[in-house]
Structure 1
Amino acid sequence: MKLRALLDMPELRLEVVTGDDLLDRAITWVVTTDLLDPGRYLGGRELVLTGLVWRSGPADSEVFVRALARAGVSGLAAWDLTTGTVPGDLVDACRRHRIPLFKVPEDVAFATVTEAVVRHLSGARAADLTAVLDRHRRLVAGMSEGAGLGAVLDLVGRDLGMRCWVLTATGRVVAGPPGAPDGAALARAFLTAPRLPHHTAASGVSVFPVAEDTTSRVADWFVACEGDHADWPAERRTLTTELAAIAALERARLDDRLSVEGRLAQELVRLVVSAAAADEIVPRLELAGLDPHASYVAVAAAGRGTLRPGELRSVLGEVIPVPRPVVGLLDEEAVALVPVPAEPAPDVAFSVQTALDALAPGLAGAGIMVGVSGVVGAGELRGAVDEARYARRLASGRTDPVCVVRHDELATHVLLLATVPEDVRQMFQVRLLDPLREYDEVHKADLIRTLETFLQNSGSWTKCAEQLHLHVNSVRYRIQRIQDLTGRDLTRLEDRVDFFLALRLS
């Protein structure tokens, strides 16, 4: 369905505000949102509906529309019931980012728009192969895992005599007939190709991205079809585009962030981090399908560059060597709880490192930093998660595109801090560092950075001054100010240790 079809629905009475030249964009779904930055919940090619609840001022329109453009949405339909208009700053932002904007009449509910579009998408019929594949796309959305996608690939193989497979960026075959080519080799070709589609002469197949415009390659799936795409007729090239759209639907269906299982995983991770009691955690483990008597390893990961949190979560779930691990998001960080046998203890860090090294060519200026804890019982999950997050912070200080830090690389003080209750750590940090942070906010004095540099250089005034590009007297003045604000004496070892630990907690 194209955007211009919306104008032919008399019950909607939508008006184009800007983007008349972009109405040939396709719509695959409808999403209603009141979030200022809904990017992580969008997969591309949606019609977005919004009542502008997120807008508190003109600058918000730029943030909102930029997020839509990055996610690859097809268009936006809006109406501010409070003001009775579409704000000019929203129109300008849509024009800048080339997002078609429709005005929704005041008396037309968003539910009416959604129902009309979904009905149109579901009712499309045609006699050619594309229409057959459209019907199978809907089949994919409602069938059990992998069955619908496999049926479509079987159809293509029977009707066109062309075998096709869908794979993840790690080379795992999602669906396809027996006898798939080497998945690792295809994944390398997909990740390293300067442009897609790409023909791999060694395997005799062509690879196509599933969602190139909206998803990083390391988090994307790809379609592999026998033959050289450069020799195909237009109809066959169109078919691969349709297959990619079907694969995108299947991938979205398997993304459990909004499913019951996904919400349970998210709640479990947050519960563990909040230092909840064991009698609260054990029932949640069971609800999430985990054995409360099993042993676990915690894995924490953060992305650098263009990798978004949702993509990071998908990548982490793909590279952990157990099927469908429990993964949750803590702001920009993904945390996984991995059940493992106590004996022999598996080397989760090695498996994750190996899988991420294979993905590294597709990071394109981005990066992934990972920390892995030791093996613990269910009652020690909080310490394991803290241990993994500390290890991840250590990994973030390195420059490699992929860096995995094991728990045994952590200093003794980090392991000790991981066992201290959160409220105690927070109070300790607040008492020591908050006076410095507040002073820095008002006076721009850079006291926190000066303190950290001073400690890193073992209290050497000269080395600290050189590293900060300051005169030694300026460093002395700042250190004196730190002591005045905190009542501590940086000539005393005990006070230096306290500051060192407080900085490690920040």
Structure 2
Amino acid sequence: MRLRALLDTDALGLKLLGGEDELDRTVRGVMTTDLRDPSRYLSGGELVLTGLAWRRDAADSEPFVRILAQAQVAAVAAGTAELGEVPDDLVAACARHRLPLFAVHESVAFATVTEHVVRQVSGERAGDLAAVVDRHRRMMTSGPAGGGPDVVLDLLGSDLDLRAWVLSPAGRLIAGPKGAGGPALPADVCARLAAEHLAATRTGRRGPHRVTVGQTTYSLFPVRAGGRAPQGPPPGSSPRGARDVRETVLSDWLLAVEADAADWAEERLDLLHGVTQLIAVERDRREAARTVRRRLAQEVLELVQTGAAPAEIAARLRVAAPVLLPGLGTAPHWQVVVARVDWDGGEVAGGPVAQALLEEILVDPASTGPEHSDRIAVAHTGEEAIALVPLPSVTGEHDGSGTGILADALLESVRDPLTAGLEDDGRVTLGVSAAVHSAEGLRGALEEARHARRVAAARQGRVCAAGHQELASHVLLLPFVPDDVRRAFTARLLDPLRDYDRRHRAELIPTLEAFLDCDGSWTRCASRLHLHVNTLRYRVGRIEQLTGRDLSRLEDKLDFFLALRMS
């Protein structure tokens, strides 16, 4: 703001005592001081408010004003409460140094002047920043220049003193201010903010959404692809023609600002809306960059599903590897991940939603920026999303175990945010194959990942995953056996043993478990249970007598094994 504007505000009660020719100076801030030398706290452009406590006699005015002039402050405003009036020696010193001087009436608090100036300066900065944001958006939409969301986040920090971060729907940090100082946003806070944002979005409430974590309040602004208008709530409560929020709730980014936007002026809210539109441009750019990787994944998937010759699939993989692993070799190992998003009612197509979600959760949650996500290739067919994940080979040897993606670890950091976005009418299920090192193994890996996803779907919970390690025969079979059949089968085999143990404390159930774990070895089982072999034979004989089974037969051993797993 200009100094001249201070005189136009009657509520401030300012009287100009000198410096009429300098009223077009720009005020960039306010400082209140009674130090004799406040130079270390000045950066230029301030309106200096002083109660004159530094002045002991007339000789003190000259050095004080000289220090302010050298610091290039905008003006001085002196209070009259201490001396009743501004002393002539101060007026003369300001005149010599061409420093505008105001008198502040004793009825006006310095806080009133400070609040007014800060409000005006902040509004001017917001207007300047809005212009920068608009120019930046035009640059990004017309060419590759711009620098991504980090640039505008730094502007928010430097010009408006706002710390802000861009987060994925799963809570991954995509961008943050580099020059704002202070600690980075912790991963658990990112996950909490993403969960609160998704929960609020599912209700259909318009942003920004306010969340308090500990002692800090954050305002959450949705970043919607293509800069589209806010969406409505799910079917049943949305107005006619509104886009179903479930189509994008698991893929849209959010802008988290460390501030309470409840009392913000419309101008500042409009500015942040412009920032989200700018970030949406970058999101759309990254989405477009995924087109090539999606197409490669789709081509490989179609070859695998139609039974193409391994040589043909291998040729396609040689094309894909340099794109997905630039500079890291052309013969990686591969894993297949299958995901499905199901919504109650079936109005929303799950394939595209699962595709965008899988591209997100396959990115290392500790990574930032686009680098890692540029190596994710996801296709979708029907309601399934299928990811072809390259694993760089270092030694050229691989046994398909112990490396690569683990199903539980994949969902560990994103479970809470996704559960909030799925609310009560959605599920995410996911299956992971073992790693394979050749085209011949991809068809089996795809089927393995699909079977693992079916195992995950049989579990309880909104977000479930299973890996190839869980595909033993009993794991594949048990989830699909009806509960009443399971209970009857278990009771028929184990209830006689439980009743006997209850009456005689014979420990037949623990003995049966140990016997099966030792593959029917009498000596190993007796050693594990600290029993004589004859005692073990007696107990096993009692088990066979009570159940009518023979533990030397493979079929009966398998029945007992399954019954124990289901109990």
TM range (shorter): 0.5 to 0.7
Instruction: Give 1:126-137 correspondences, 5 Å limit.
Output: 129-137=129-137
1:223 alignment partner, SS class: strand
Instruction: Give 1:351-430 correspondences, 5 Å limit.
Output: 351-358=409-416, 359-364=418-423, 365-379=425-439, 380-412=441-473
Match of 2:194 among 190, 196, 200: 190
CA RMSD of aligned residues (A): 3.4
Distance 1:414 1:183 in 2: 33
Match of 1:74 in 2: none
Q: What does the per-residue CA deviation read over 1:204-248, in whole Å, with 9 as the maximum and x for residues that have no partner?
A: 432222135255443221101121111322211112212222222
Q: 1:261 offset after TM fit, Å?
A: 3.0
Match of 1:328 in 2: 379
Tell me the amino acid that sits aligned with residue 196 of structure 2. T
Q: What does the per-residue CA deviation read over 1:181-220, in whole Å, with 9 as the maximum and x for residues that have no partner?
A: 2243133233235534223243443222213525544322
Q: What does the per-residue CA deviation read over 1:328-352, in whole Å, with 9 as the maximum and x for residues that have no partner?
A: 1112110111223547513421222
Check conservation: 2:428, 2:463, Cα contact below 8 A. Answer: yes
Check conservation: 2:196, 2:211, Cα contact below 8 A. Answer: no
Match of 1:32 in 2: none
| Residues 346, 263 of structure 1: alpha-carbon distance in 2 compared, 3 angstrom cutoff | closer
| Residues 256, 272 of structure 1: alpha-carbon distance in 2 compared, 3 angstrom cutoff | farther
Check conservation: 1:133, 1:152, Cα contact below 8 A. Answer: yes
Tell me the amino acid that sits aligned with residue 275 of structure 1. G
Match of 1:316 in 2: 358
Q: 1:373 offset after TM fit, Å?
A: 1.0
| Residues 161, 136 of structure 1: alpha-carbon distance in 2 compared, 3 angstrom cutoff | same
Distance 2:475 2:437 in 1: 20
Check conservation: 1:390, 1:414, Cα contact below 8 A. Answer: no
Match of 2:218 among 194, 205, 218: 205
Alignment partner of 1:174 is 2:148: no
Larger radius of gyration: 2
Check conservation: 2:171, 2:194, Cα contact below 8 A. Answer: no
Q: What does the per-residue CA deviation read over 1:258-314, in whole Å, with 9 as the maximum and x for residues that have no partner?
A: 733332222222222222222222232232235553222211000011574323212
Match of 1:280 among 306, 312, 316: 312
Task: Specify every segment of 5 or more residues in structure 1 that has no aligned partner in the other structure, as ranges.
Answer: 1-126, 416-451, 461-506
Q: 1:257 offset after TM fit, Å?
A: 7.5
Match of 1:48 in 2: none
Distance 2:175 2:481 in 1: 53
| Residues 292, 331 of structure 1: alpha-carbon distance in 2 compared, 3 angstrom cutoff | farther
1:219 alignment partner, SS class: coil
Check conservation: 1:356, 1:402, Cα contact below 8 A. Answer: no
1:371 alignment partner, SS class: strand
Check conservation: 1:300, 1:392, Cα contact below 8 A. Answer: yes
| Residues 339, 264 of structure 1: alpha-carbon distance in 2 compared, 3 angstrom cutoff | closer
| Residues 176, 321 of structure 1: alpha-carbon distance in 2 compared, 3 angstrom cutoff | closer
Q: 1:156 offset after TM fit, Å?
A: 2.7
Q: 1:143 offset after TM fit, Å?
A: 5.8
Q: What does the per-residue CA deviation read over 1:116-169, in whole Å, with 9 as the maximum and x for residues that have no partner?
A: xxxxxxxxxxx8654542332233346659923222222333332222221112
Match of 1:153 in 2: 153
2:148 alignment partner, SS class: helix
Q: 1:412 offset after TM fit, Å?
A: 4.2
Match of 1:299 among 337, 351, 360: 337
| Residues 141, 275 of structure 1: alpha-carbon distance in 2 compared, 3 angstrom cutoff | farther
Distance 1:376 1:282 in 2: 12
Q: 1:405 offset after TM fit, Å?
A: 1.6
Q: 1:319 offset after TM fit, Å?
A: 1.3
1:191 alignment partner, SS class: helix
Alignment partner of 1:238 is 2:270: yes
Distance 1:308 1:143 in 2: 33
| Residues 278, 301 of structure 1: alpha-carbon distance in 2 compared, 3 angstrom cutoff | same
2:268 alignment partner, SS class: helix
Tell me the amino acid that sits aligned with residue 332 of structure 1. E
1:368 alignment partner, SS class: strand
2:177 alignment partner, SS class: coil
2:185 alignment partner, SS class: coil
Instruction: Give 1:195-274 correspondences, 5 Å limit.
Output: 195=200, 196=207, 197-202=209-214, 203-211=216-224, 213=231, 214=245, 216-256=248-288, 259-274=291-306
Distance 1:264 1:249 in 2: 24
Distance 1:206 1:292 in 2: 45
Report the identity percentage. Answer: 36
Distance 2:175 2:141 in 1: 15
1:260 alignment partner, SS class: helix
Distance 2:194 2:454 in 1: 30
Check conservation: 1:307, 1:366, Cα contact below 8 A. Answer: no
Distance 2:415 2:349 in 1: 16
Distance 1:412 1:146 in 2: 55
| Residues 304, 221 of structure 1: alpha-carbon distance in 2 compared, 3 angstrom cutoff | same
Distance 1:413 1:277 in 2: 33
| Residues 259, 346 of structure 1: alpha-carbon distance in 2 compared, 3 angstrom cutoff | closer
Distance 1:158 1:308 in 2: 42
| Residues 235, 307 of structure 1: alpha-carbon distance in 2 compared, 3 angstrom cutoff | farther
Match of 1:350 among 408, 427, 434: 408
Q: 1:385 offset after TM fit, Å?
A: 0.8
Match of 1:498 in 2: none
Q: What does the per-residue CA deviation read over 1:85-121, in whole Å, with 9 as the maximum and x for residues that have no partner?
A: xxxxxxxxxxxxxxxxxxxxxxxxxxxxxxxxxxxxx
Tell me the amino acid that sits aligned with residue 282 of structure 2. E
Match of 1:62 in 2: none
Distance 2:146 2:468 in 1: 36
Check conservation: 1:391, 1:405, Cα contact below 8 A. Answer: yes
Distance 2:412 2:145 in 1: 27
1:198 alignment partner, SS class: strand
Task: Specify every segment of 5 or more residues in structure 2 that has no aligned partner in the other structure, as ranges.
Answer: 1-126, 201-206, 225-229, 232-244, 365-371, 489-567
| Residues 192, 381 of structure 1: alpha-carbon distance in 2 compared, 3 angstrom cutoff | same
Distance 1:271 1:356 in 2: 32
| Residues 348, 408 of structure 1: alpha-carbon distance in 2 compared, 3 angstrom cutoff | closer
